[in-house]
Structure 1
Amino acid sequence: MTQHVHFPLQFDGRGRTRDDDEALWIRGLIEQVLFTVPGERVMRPDFGSGLRELVFAPNSPELAATTQFLVQSALQQWMADLITVELVEIDVADSRLSVNIQYSIRRTGMRYQENFQQGGG
């Protein structure tokens, strides 16, 4: 059985590394791709999406389209072996960024819709 380490790293009640089922593990990986700033990881300087920098950018239809493209590209680059991205929707209001992603897990075919948020509310 494959172990999927929980993100962020935690310990379970027995003092061992907490594991997740595949769906929660993949959700954690997506979150890492979305909210990691390129250059933040020393050994993978191009990892991430740069999404956090866009929270305070002036809101416009062009920014929403660019952000949607940025997120979809990053997910396809870093997660293509695990998921198929079906839909990415971006909502920016004041300093809150909401990303709605619809995807399916390649191994099981199960479909999920997840919402990720960054910033104040």
Structure 2
Amino acid sequence: MNLDYPYRFDARGATAEADEEAYLRGLIEQVLFTAPGERLMRPEFGSGIQQLLFAPNSPEVAATAQFLVQGALQQWLGDLIALQSVQVETADSTLRVTIAYAVRRTGQVQTATFERAGAAP
């Protein structure tokens, strides 16, 4: 069973389920935007890019974010996805992360983009 993210109940009052594509996207989002130390039973879980969202946007911040994203996704989801590329862009006050990956079970290639606003320039 693949739980939907964010957690919710379906029309029957049961835990909502997601198809594999939505499930993996939810897992990626959780890794990206969970700060290490945020989860009590898994204090090392997360990528740490959340702390970069309020730094002034720059190529250095984007490169650091790309490094953090690649490492975290390989560590936490490496058994489910094979990363093909990670692209991090900064524009105005937004950090945009685009991830291309292959689903290990099927070999199907997916691309997902995630955005978070940071500090104003």
Using structure 1 for the length normalisation, give the TM-score: 0.92
Which residue identity is paired with 1:50?
Answer: G
Partner of 1:108: 106
Aligned: 1:95 with 2:93: yes
Contact 1:37 1:52 in 2 (8 A): yes
The one of 6, 26, 41 aligned to 1:8:
6
**Where does structure 1 lack aligned partners over 5 or more consecutive residues?**
none
* 1:27-60 deviation line (CA, Å, top 9, x unaligned): 1000000000100001111100111111121233
Contact 1:99 1:115 in 2 (8 A): yes
CA RMSD between the two structures: 1.4
Contact 2:57 2:93 in 1 (8 A): no
Which residue identity is paired with 1:27?
Answer: R
Tell me the distance in 2 between the aligned counterparts of 1:20 and 1:11. Answer: 11
Aligned: 1:71 with 2:69: yes
- Counting aligned pairs with the same residue, the percent is 56
**Where does structure 2 lack aligned partners over 5 or more consecutive residues?**
none
Partner of 1:38: 36
Partner of 2:53: 55
Using structure 2 for the length normalisation, give the TM-score: 0.92
Contact 1:37 1:51 in 2 (8 A): yes
